[in-house]
Each structure stands twice: as C-alpha cells, then as structure tokens.
Structure 1
Amino acid sequence: MDPRRMLRSSVLAVTAAGLLLSGCTGTDPSNSSSVSTPEGGGSGSGTSAAPVAELKPYYAQKLAWRECGVPGFECSTLKAPLDYEKPQGESIKLAVARKKATGPGARIGSLLVNPGGPGGSAIGYLQAYAGIGYPAQVRARYDMVAIDPRGVARSEPVECLTGKEMDAYTQVDQTPDDPAETNRLTTSFKAFATGCEKRSGTVLPHVSTEDSARDMDVLRAVLGDRKLAYVGASYGTFLGATYAELFPDRAGRLVLDGALDPSLPARQVNRDQTAGFETAFRSFATDCVTRTDCPLGTTSVADASARLKEFFAELDARPVPTGESRELGESLATTGVLTAMYDENAWPQLREGLASAMEGDGAGLLALADSYYERESDGSYTNLMYANAAVNCLDLPPAFSRPQDVEEALPDFEKASPVFGRGFAWAALNCAYWPTPATGTPHPIEAKGADPILVVGTTKDPATPYKWAQALADQLASGRLLTYDGDGHTAYGRGSECIDSAINAYLLKGTVPQDGKRCR
C-alpha cells in the first residue's frame, strides 16, 4: 500500500466524478459582464490573502486559447503568484483546458471539475470523461473547464523519484516485523522526501489546497464568471470547501461528492480510512463467498478476511513472480486489493487476480496496483503520488512523528481493520520526514454566506467514509446532504438515476434536493 492518504476518485473507471452543489439564491454564475477583482477572501487557515491591488494583474489577465490535441478541447495557461503573500514576486504557470458549451439552450457559465487525489489531473479527467461523459444537457449549457492544480500533471508538477526508484519504493515492506524492517521503511520515506526537495524544492512550499483554491478564484474571474460553479470528487471536495471558506460570496453551485471532513487531524483521517476500506472489503467478501470462484472460500466473511490476511503474510515471506522483473510481495498485493475497493465493477478482476496470485502468478494483482500508482508500460510514473504527498503533508501536521508513535497506535488501527490496519498505520508515518512544514490545520469549514452547497456521501465508500460527508454537510452553514446507499467511491455518474437526476437538476436549474435525500 502506498504511504499516502488514498483520497482518489475511482482509478478503474473514469466514472467517479462529483455531484452537484446546492441551489443558487437567484443568481446565475454566468451573469457576469466584467472581470471580477479580488476582495481578500474569507477565513482560511493558511496564508493570508494579498492586498487587492497587488493581485489585480492576475485577475485581469486574458487567456490565449489554442487547440490541444483532443478534438473539441482548447487549452491555455493561467498565471498565478507562486506565493500569495508575495504576489509581486515569482509567478507560476497553470494549465487550463475547456470544452465550450454545445447547446441547445442558453449558456449558464463555466463548470470547473476536479477528480480528486490530491494529484489527479483535472485536465486528463476533463478530456477522458467529464467533457464527453457528463450528461449531455449539462455539457450543452456549461463550458466544461479544468485546471491542473499547482504541482500536478501539466502545472509545474512536483517530481521526486525516477521510475526505477519508484518501483523500489512501492515494494518496501509496509508492515515491518522487526527494527531492521522498520529502519528500511523509514529510510524509504526519507529518501522519497529528499527526492522531492531536490527536484521540486521551489514549488514544494506553495502547493497547499488553499493555494489551489485561490488559483481557482483567479480562473473564475478570468473566465468572466461572477460565481464559481464546481464539481469536485474525493479530495476535490476539500478543495471546493476551502474555496467556499475563502470566497463565500463567490461560491455558486458547488457539488462535493465523496466528501472529506476538514475538522479531522491526520491520524484520525488515516484511522477512518482504515475502517472505510474494511467496510468496503467486507462488502466485497460478502459477495465473493456466494460465488464458486471466490479464492477466499465460500463459507463466511470472517473466514475470507482471515484467508486474505494469511495470504498477505505468505507474500511477505515469499513473493510470487509476475512475468516481469518485479515480484508481487505483500505491499503491491495490498495496493492491488485496495484499488479494487474503489469500484464494485472491479470485483471480478480482483477475484481473478487473487486466484492467480494464490496459484503463483501475481500479474493480475500487479496490474491493479500499477493502475493505482499510474505506472506506465515503459516503467515511468505520472506525478500523481508525488503531488499527493506534497499536498497532504502541507495541508495537515503529520499523523505520527516517529515509529514509536505508530507502534502505540497499532491496536487502534488493527481494531479498525484486522487485515489492513497495520499497513495503514505505518503508511501514515511518511509526512513525519517531509522537508516543508505543514501550513494548514484541521478545522471545521462553515463558509457562512455561501449559496447552498450540495454534499454527497456513499454509505460504503472506502476512501471517504460516509460519516465524513455527514460531518461536512453539518459544518457548512448552507450544506445539504445527498446520500447514496451503495458501494464504491463517490456517486455521480456511477449508475444511480436518482443521484444523477438530483445533481443535474441542481446544476441546470439551481434546484436543491431535500436535505437528507437518499438514493439507492
């Protein structure tokens, strides 16, 4: 398992998008005839906003759009301050893409989308799914827009390791059994952090979620929208909520799907996720044991859980071949299993991968793990995991400061998940060695004065447990909770007509579903 909070939208089907935000208060986000200028922002917990005058050049810039390889899409570059406290200093270039509203019907405005991560490419998501797969009536009336957050993909990406170094990193034993293995794990964390500082030291202190939220406001103004319309999934919900906190008067129709609870410290976030993946695995196991091809047995969920834990221990002692130079050990196998928890449509693939691995062929589980890490066929990696660590370690103080802290917390994590608890606990140690101190702190987000904000939660979501959506909806002064009773990570665009119609109605008409509405 990778030592970072797994807050991504589905990696197996690009169908994990966000939902939609609440109704508007009678103002359409497209009703803007002039470019907005900054007004300072709300009550964010990080860096203070720069004086209005010093940011005006950024808010007044014009984007030069060009074709960018995918038919129907245009790309451009947005400039923003590298450091919002020093806006007259160095700037950063951020990649932007859009697909114009197709009609019929009057254009409403721009709809920004973010698939989560942190570290997921919003532009890649727009071009692969949102710009072509969102409901036709939404694409007809909105310009579909994406900005790769700073440090991500096309926006001055954080870089840390070579492909070979990353291969080695993903195979380090993350359930150490003795001091020597603990030392190897902490050494790998330190080497990862050192690589990030060496290759990306300039941008590393300036990739917080608050920085990216401020970038979104610059983009909103440059696009000519008076208010932001936004669909954010997974980590994208924290980005959207942070925007609403900073700029409540500019928060329009915001949809936060697969929500985070911003009030939680990092240790609790990791512990809650441990329980979330346990819930998802038990749902998988409940289905698996009813099938004759279940590699974990056909008796009970408890027996399936015990068999998987036993299998991981076997791989820890004796990795199996995969048909290439990398073997399948416990760490990669765990990541492969967890990957399939994001989307129940991957369960058949997981059953097959587990069965093959138990017979000595680890290729199937390795493929699942590679899809999570975004490892390319040539052995290179996207910068997803590098940006993921950079943002997470800047947004919250570390969960643990030393290995002894992890050891003391192990019983609590193993209670949350007998199968995955040890790995999640040790994974949470990575930010202890991060070269840049955290600038964010856990705190509730109220966003007083914002239009109604739609928060969406899935009851068996592994990566963003349902109680987080409940908590965020309660914290937000204008929060409205929409619930999907089901499996998988996020809800919009994943097969529920009830969910999709509620979100579409909000985006198109500003109609807010009844608070607490539930869908199956």
Structure 2
Amino acid sequence: MQKMVVAAVVAALVVPGVASAAEPESTVTWGACPANVAPLGLECGTVKVPLDHAKPKGQKIEISISRLASKKPEKRRGVLLTNPGGPGGEGMTFPFALKALGLPQDVQDAYDVIGIDPRGVGNSTPVTCDLTQEQKLKGNVPPYAVTQADVTKWAEESRKIANQCATSRTAWMLPHVSTANAARDMDQIRQALKEPKASFLGYSYGTHLGAVYATLFPNRTDRVVLDSSLPAKGWDVEGGRGFGRGVEDRFPDFAKWVAARPEYGLGTTPQQVRDKFFDLAARLDQKPVPGIDGPMFRFLTFAFIYGDRTFPTLAEYWQALDTGKPLPEEEPAPDPDNAISSRLYTVCNDSRWPTSVSTYQRNVAIDRVRYPMFGAAAANIQPCAFWPDPEERPISVGDRGPANVMIAQNDRDPATPLTGAQDMRRALGKRAVMVSADQGGHGAYVLAPNKCLNGAVTSFLLDGKRPAHDLRCAAE
C-alpha cells in the first residue's frame, strides 16, 4: 500500500564536498537477480557507495539495482531511474511493474528502465529496528487518536521504537539513511552506468527523492517526472498531516461508487455511505472484532481508496463488519520490518520533528475536527519525535536549474493531496510544469486511465516537450 504506495542553497546546507558524489569503484556488471526479482525477466547488479558521502574513501555499502533494457539501440536515449514510493519501498521489481501496467513501448525503447532498492531497503544493505510482531501490525502510519490520551499512549510506544532503531544491529547505518544520501547514491549509479545524465520517474515519496536529486545535481538530470507529489519539504511533520486532507478529498469517489451499488447495504447516497463510515468506526472503537479496531478500520479505508480497483474489496470489508459476517481472506504479507524500519530511518533523518507530546496533541485536536475521517491519525506522534538530531540540515528544493521537471497529479489523491503537489510546483518555479487530472487515486501516470495526462508525460519523456503552462486534464 505504501508503494503506490520531493536551488537550492546547497552550499549552505550540505557538508562541503558532499553534493558531488565520488567516482564509483566500477561499472555495473549485469547478471542474475535475487530470488524475489529473478522471475520477472530483469537483469540485476550492484553499486558500492560510501556509507558517508562526506568520506568517499570510507566504509562502503551496497545498492542493488535492476534493468529493463531497451531493445532498440537506435531509439535509446539513456537511463530512466525509478522509485515507487515509500520511503521503504523496494524498487528492483518496479521496472517490471511499470511494464505490466502499460508503460508505453516507445518509452521502454527510449530508456533502460532502472529499478533501485534505496540504501537501507530490501536487497541493498538493509536496516532494521528489530520490531516486535505487534509493532509490525501497526504499520507505518500512526493509529487514529480517538482521544488525547491516545496520543500520550502512542508517544510511549514511539519512544520505544525509536530506542530500538538506535540500538539495533544496523544502528551503525542510522545517521546516514536519508533522502539526500539516497539521491547521492543515485548519482553514483548514473556514473557507474557511464551515463552523462539520468532521467527519473518517481511516485509518492519518490517525488521528494527526485526533487532532492534534481536540486543536488541539476545539471546531471535529463527529464524528471514527479508523480503524486509530496510538498517540497517532503515527509516532515506537516507533510505527514496531508493524509487527513487526502482522505477527505478522495472519499467522495468511493462513497459515490458504493451508493450506486445497493447490494452492499451501506447506503444509497454518498452522505449515507459517509455516515456509515463514522458509524462503523464508532462501533469498532467500542467493540473491536479480532484484528480490527476503530483505528485499524480507518487505516484500512485509507489504504483501500488508493485505487478504484480496490473499491470492491473495501466494500466487502465494510459489509462484513456491518453485518458480523467473516472478513474477506487476505494473502499473507511479506515481513514488514525492513519497510517500516527504513521509512523511519529516512523520514526521521530528513528533518527535525517536534519533540513535545503536547505539539502532537494540539495537531491531533485540530485535524480531528478539520479532517474527521483520518486527520487524528495523520497528525499523531511518530518515533521521529524521539530521534537523534539529523546529521545534516534538510535540502531546500528550489528553482535553480534547467526547466526539465514535470509534476503529474490526480486532483483527489488520498496520500499525497493536490495541495502538496501545488506546494512542490511553487518551490520548483520555472523548472517545472504541472499536469493534473480530474480523477482520484494515488498514482497517475500509467496507474490511471486519463489519456490527456498520460499523453503529456509520455511526450515529455520521449521528446522533452512540455506544455507552455500548467495543464488541467478533464475527467474521462
């Protein structure tokens, strides 16, 4: 879920010499892939990068990458680095996923599509917080705080998780897992591939990674697509609160869909469906069923409105909870320890989070009213409140650099609402144009059917052509 789950004053904000990555040790040798990637028909390799880019001759870690190679050398333009989101989302399988979802053949011909497990993630040198099974089940979004006391209670658990991360067997990596360092790794990958420039396609959190990469290395970027964008400051304490706004923006699409299907018995008007949400949440707050309490119900609703294709599953969950019938069966999920841990390492190192529990209680009280469906989850406290101070100050995304960025955005995105993309657009200034579509869901290019948006992004990737001004695409 989390996959489809952003001019810098770099000289002032970055450790001297860090912005320019050191030469990698070697070129990439393509070969067989790890077991989780092997069946997908991709080639795989590794690149060694400095653990600390300020010490390029120091300790190295491995970054694992994959390649969906162009089969038309006469049409090949270069490499398209990709990121599916997260942070904490493995990316080596992503080129295959893009192909399966319908990435145009012309784009596949024009680029070697490169998947990357960022530092700390998956097949790259991984990190852990030694999470307990109960902590894994909580996932990577804080629980909905029904009362202010719930914030205090979750603060205790958040402090415990932060301490586990800081004392885990991979704590030696903790200061160096950040978006800025992942961007520096990307430039090492570009160099190892012997490419003068790299294009980029990133979704969700990947928009922040792409924006930071384009800020640190503006003249080494070719064409940059940021799809479903975070605000310019990324997933900081304010960026995370965007989930509350996003659910309110997106939920009417689901409510309309359910209201047109009375067989679910959840309401025949969108307002009745919305009322049913609050009814079920209140009932589960008072009397949970095995595995699902009120906060988990709110989270499931958030997760299953990412795309229209999961509306039926969500409606079945609601129907079962409303009638007391067995819940739909789920496929076993992979162990989420690494995904959750690497997300924490990254977002907690990217910026300094407020340390006072009362700050989060105030934010929760505001967003519980402003965004009643999910605001009291999005604003709740996280382990970042108890994290060591980051090694470097945040990278400021700005408008210094070539005009080579396109932002693609759905109007009604539950995870990265339109307001965040608009903030990113303002920060990038003349470097960017935005193409937005009157549709809902998390993920726009090839993940949603709008021909206007998809055509604009494809044209940009193939020809470098962008609309002269921001483009609004009508519903289709």
What TM-score do the two structures reach when normalised by structure 1? 0.82
Q: Which whole-Å CA distance do the structure 2 matches of 1:421 and 1:438 have between them?
A: 30
Q: Which whole-Å CA distance do the structure 2 matches of 1:123 and 1:505 have between them?
A: 25
- 2:434 is equivalent to residue 434 of structure 1: no
Q: Which whole-Å CA distance do the structure 1 matches of 2:234 and 2:72 have between them?
A: 42
Aligned to 2:412: 460
- Partner SS, residue 70 of structure 1: helix
Q: Which whole-Å CA distance do the structure 2 matches of 1:438 and 1:71 have between them?
A: 38
Aligned to 1:389: 344
Point out which structure has higher relative CO (alpha carbons under 8 A, 6+ apart): 1
Aligned to 1:481: 434
Residue segments in structure 1 that go unaligned for 5+ positions in a row = 1-5, 12-17, 19-40, 322-326
Q: Which whole-Å CA distance do the structure 1 matches of 2:142 and 2:465 have between them?
A: 50
Letter in 1 for 2:299: T
Q: Deviations 1:429-470 (Å, cap 9, x if unpaired)?
A: 431122453744374x22422242111121111111112222
- 2:32 is equivalent to residue 74 of structure 1: no
Q: Which whole-Å CA distance do the structure 2 matches of 1:139 and 1:44 have between them?
A: 39
Pick aligned residue for 1:375 from 333, 358, 382: 333
TM-aligned CA deviation for residue 71 of structure 1:
5.4
Identity %: 30
TM-aligned CA deviation for residue 421 of structure 1:
1.9
Letter in 2 for 1:434: W
- Once the two structures are superposed, the pairs formed by residues 485-496 of structure 1 within 5 Å of their partners are 485-493=438-446, 494-496=448-450
- 2:73 is equivalent to residue 108 of structure 1: no
Q: Deviations 1:318-376 (Å, cap 9, x if unpaired)?
A: 2113xxxxx22123222211111211221121111110122224633x84xxx8xx933
- 2:459 is equivalent to residue 505 of structure 1: yes
- Partner SS, residue 511 of structure 1: coil
CA change 1:43–1:230 in 2 (3 A) is farther
Letter in 1 for 2:28: L
- Once the two structures are superposed, the pairs formed by residues 74-473 of structure 1 within 5 Å of their partners are 74-103=43-72, 105-130=74-99, 133-162=102-131, 164-167=133-136, 169-170=138-139, 174-177=144-147, 179=149, 181-199=150-168, 200-263=170-233, 266-301=236-271, 303-321=272-290, 327-361=291-325, 363-364=327-328, 367=330, 375-376=333-334, 380-381=335-336, 383-398=338-353, 400-426=354-380, 428-435=381-388, 437=390, 439-441=392-394, 443=396, 445-473=397-425
Q: Which whole-Å CA distance do the structure 2 matches of 1:64 and 1:253 have between them?
A: 25
Aligned to 2:30: 65
Q: Which whole-Å CA distance do the structure 1 matches of 2:130 and 2:325 have between them?
A: 28
Higher mean displacement: 199-208 or 255-264: 255-264
Q: Which whole-Å CA distance do the structure 2 matches of 1:211 and 1:253 have between them?
A: 21
Aligned to 1:22: none
Q: Which whole-Å CA distance do the structure 1 matches of 2:175 and 2:387 have between them?
A: 11
Q: Which whole-Å CA distance do the structure 1 matches of 2:173 and 2:234 have between them?
A: 26
Check whether the contact 1:131–1:144 (CA below 8 A) recurs between aligned residues: no
- Partner SS, residue 355 of structure 2: coil
- Partner SS, residue 162 of structure 2: helix
Aligned to 2:17: 49
What TM-score do the two structures reach when normalised by structure 2? 0.89
Q: Which whole-Å CA distance do the structure 2 matches of 1:88 and 1:375 have between them?
A: 39
Letter in 2 for 1:407: Q
TM-aligned CA deviation for residue 316 of structure 1:
2.1
Aligned to 1:26: none
Q: Which whole-Å CA distance do the structure 1 matches of 2:124 and 2:234 have between them?
A: 29
